[in-house]
Amino acid sequence: MKLHVINTGKFKLDGGAMFGVVPKTIWSKTNPADKNNMCSWAMRCLLIEDGDNKILIDTGIGNKQSEKFFQYFYLHGKENLAESLNQVNIHPDKITHVFFTHLHFDHCGGAIKKIKTDDDEDDILELMFKNAIHLTNKKHWDLANNPNKREKASFLKENFQLIEFKKRLQFINEGKLFPNISVKFFHGHTSSQMIPFIKINNKTLVFMADLLPSIGHIPLPYVMSYDTQPLITLQEKKIFLEEAADKKYILFLEHDYIYECCTVKKTDKGIRVDKYGKMEEFLL
């Protein structure tokens, strides 16, 4: 089994929204904000090559929305999904499974691409991974298609409806998905966010998605304002981070601007970061 980091680009989100009740005087020491109070974040995906299966976890923000939409997110950085796959010699048609942790736009947007047409014609949308089965769960799919007012701006139908239309959608449950990959659902950020646990080299790597966006979110009160049930996040994070410290999980950080992975340890102040760096250093 081989793992590859797939960088899909960077974007900006409001620092206050990212750190919830924690004041800027504290979070800005580790996450400096620009003049508009925006902080930079990665959209870092993971490709798993396991025998014949080529499983991509999340797909970044994609390219299909309007300029007006993207102007709120200040996309930057040289990387993009297609180029990063190309760098590891994987053609999009070879992807067998796309695993969505959840269907917020910065996690699933890359799965459907816009084909540029003449200015007077409507843009055409196509699956980026036409041979892949796209994995989510029934409860989350129903929410994404009938969102509450708070999450409505994060669930964009053009990011996922074509998958169902093309019959490339599959619902999964918690538990073992592949011999080396199992899935747990978490509910604080959004309903039934899917977190994959990957066994490799006698270690466990966990793709954290929005359960733990960055190293800055390790201390318990650092819960995003985007979370729909922050008290549930708090509980889920506490239990998960203790388990991660005990079992020495490698945490894969989708949104950390700099670091791909980290481990955590127990301290007098609670769980804190232990080591951080590139994924390959942790897998040795």
Q: Which is nearer to Zn ion, 208 or 279 (CB)?
A: 208
Task: State in angstroms the smallest separation of the CB of 145 from Zn ion.
Answer: 16
Site string for Zn ion, 63-92 (x = CB under 5 A): ------------------------------
Q: Which is nearer to Zn ion, 81 or 245 (CB)?
A: 81
Burial class for 199, CB neighbours closer than 10 Å (0-12, 13-18, 19+)? middle
Strand partners, 206: 197, 251
Tally the C-alpha atoms within 13 A of residue 149's C-alpha that lie toward its C-beta: 0
Is the separation of the CB atoms in 19 and 27 below 8 Å? yes
Classify burial at 149, counting beta carbons within 10 Å of its beta carbon; exposed 0-12, middle 13-18, buried 19 or more: exposed
Residue number, 210 or 236, with CB nearest to Zn ion: 210
Structure-block tokens of residue 116: 């540029």
* Interface with Zn ion in residues 86-145 (CB under 5 A): 104
Which residue's beta carbon is nearest to the bound Zn ion? Answer: 104
Cβ closest to Zn ion, residue 152 vs residue 278: 152
Helices (H), 99-225: 105-108, 138-145, 161-165
* Sole window of 4-12, 109-117, 137-145, 208-216 interacting with Zn ion (rule: CB under 5 A): 208-216
Query: Residue 189 CB, nearest distance to Zn ion (Å)?
Result: 6
Using rule CB under 5 A, residue 210 touches Zn ion: yes
Can you give the binding site for Zn ion, defined by CB under 5 A? 104, 210
